[in-house]
Amino acid sequence: MKEIRRLPDSICMLKHLKYLKLRYCQLLEQLPKDLGMLESLEELHLTDCISLREIPKSICKMKSLKFLDLRFCILVENLPEEFGRLESLEETNIEGAGIGHLPQSIFELKGLHIVGSRWRLESYGFTSLKQISTYTASCYIRDLQHESPL
Residues in the chain: 150
What pLDDT sits at residue 134?
Answer: 65
List pLDDT tens digits, range 15-36. 999 999 999 999 999 999 999 9
Mean pLDDT value of segment 142-148: 46
Mean pLDDT for the chain overall:
87
pLDDT at 29: 95
Q: What is the CA radius of gyration of the chain?
A: 15
Of all residues in the chain, the percent with pLDDT exceeding 70 is 85
List of residues 6+ apart from 33 with CB closer than 8 A? 9, 56, 58
| pLDDT confidence of residue 123 | 82
- How sure is the predictor about 143, in pLDDT bands with cuts at 50, 70 and 90? very low
Answer whether 55's CB lies under 8 Å from 28's CB. Answer: no
Q: Give me the sheet containing 113-116, strands edge to edge.
A: 19-21, 43-45, 67-69, 91-93, 113-116, 137-140, 129-131
Q: Is residue 77 pLDDT above 50, yes or no?
A: yes
pLDDT value for 133: 67
pLDDT in tens, 25-73: 999 999 999 999 999 999 999 999 999 999 999 999 999 999 999 999 9
Give the model's pLDDT for residue 148.
46
3-state helix, strand, coil in the chain (%, to 5): 20, 20, 60
Domains contained in the chain, CATH given: 9-144 (3.80.10.10)
Mean pLDDT, residues 128-139: 68
Report the pLDDT value the prediction gives residue 85, as an integer from 0 to 100: 96
